[in-house]
Amino acid sequence: MRIRVLAFARLRELLGAPEITLELPEGARVVDAWSALAQGCSELDEQRASTRAARNGNLVAFEEPLADGDELAILPPVGGG
């Protein structure tokens, strides 16, 4: 399946792009998408503990299953206001 990943702030900088497309095997979860992104980028992987994931605009756990066409946003701690 194919998902669209949106990254923000420090995570966007570490990923090198605000948006990338991932090809993942059927049955993949958020954690698998993260592993694919973090592969070869230890600095990104270090952010795992503070990163939240939003699937199609809703916060989800890293164990959440993904589906073809999903939008997955990876969100560092926020600093609005």
Helix (H) or strand (E) holding 14: helix 9-15
Among candidates 43, 33, 40, which has minimal Cα distance to 74? 33
> What type of residue sits at position 29?
R
| Minimum CB distance to another protein smaller for 36 or for 52 | 52
CB of 50 to another protein, least distance (A): 5
Within positions 58 to 77, which residues make up the interface with another protein, using CB under 8 A? 59-62, 73, 75-77
Using DSSP's 3-state secondary structure scheme, residue 28 falls into coil
Q: Does 48 bind another protein (CB under 8 A)?
A: yes
Please identify which residue in 8, 22, 35, 36 interacts with another protein, judged by CB under 8 A: 8
